[in-house]
Amino acid sequence: MTTFSHADVPLWAAVVGSAFLLLGAGLTLIGAFGLVRLQSFYERIHAPTLGTSWGMGGMILGSIIIFTSASARPVLHEILIGVFVTVTTPVTLMMLGRAALYRDRSELNPGVPPETPDDSFATAMVERKEAPSHSEQEVVSQRP
């Protein structure tokens, strides 16, 4: 555990780190505002990524600058949070978008993009998993 007193932070580091912290928090706020204001789910799913990309990056850079300048040795473990969030956010949002698309299509809601050959291949794979009586050759021959 590392601690520092705020009087040890030099002025340039306080100013630069504060600018990065403000950038990160402001972008997160804009993303949350978009989450409230945008109209459809497929528009809203884009908004919080402001917070998970440069919102998080700005906060992490700011805290790295402030901690490193105050404790006279590199404090870099915030990078771990950055790597983790950068890797996991696309996975979660893609799964959530796929689930929403699946729900909208199964309820025949208007305004949903039509199925592409790529999607029908995925559906065929799901059906193959669900119905073990189908042999593999049958499913492959059904595919366009």
**Residue 2 beta carbon to another protein: minimum distance, rounded to whole angstroms:** 5
The whole-angstrom separation of Cα 125 and Cα 87 is 26
Chain residues 8-47 in contact with another protein, contact rule CB under 8 A: 9-11, 13-15, 17-18, 21-22, 24-26, 28-29, 31-33, 35-36, 41, 44-45, 47
Report phi then psi at 60, rounded to 5: -70, -45
- Contact between residue 142 and residue 124 where contact means Cβ atoms under 8 Å apart: yes
| Per CB under 8 A, 7 contacts another protein | yes
- Cβ-Cβ contacts under 8 Å for 18 (sequence gap 6 or more): 62
Q: 55-67 burial by CB neighbour count: b if 16+ within 10 A, else e? A: bbbbbbbbbbbbb
State the residues that interact with another protein by CB under 8 A.
Answer: 1-7, 9-11, 13-15, 17-18, 21-22, 24-26, 28-29, 31-33, 35-36, 41, 44-45, 47-48, 51-52, 55-56, 59-60, 62-63, 66-67, 70, 75, 77-78, 80-81, 84-85, 88, 91-93, 95-96, 98-100, 102-103
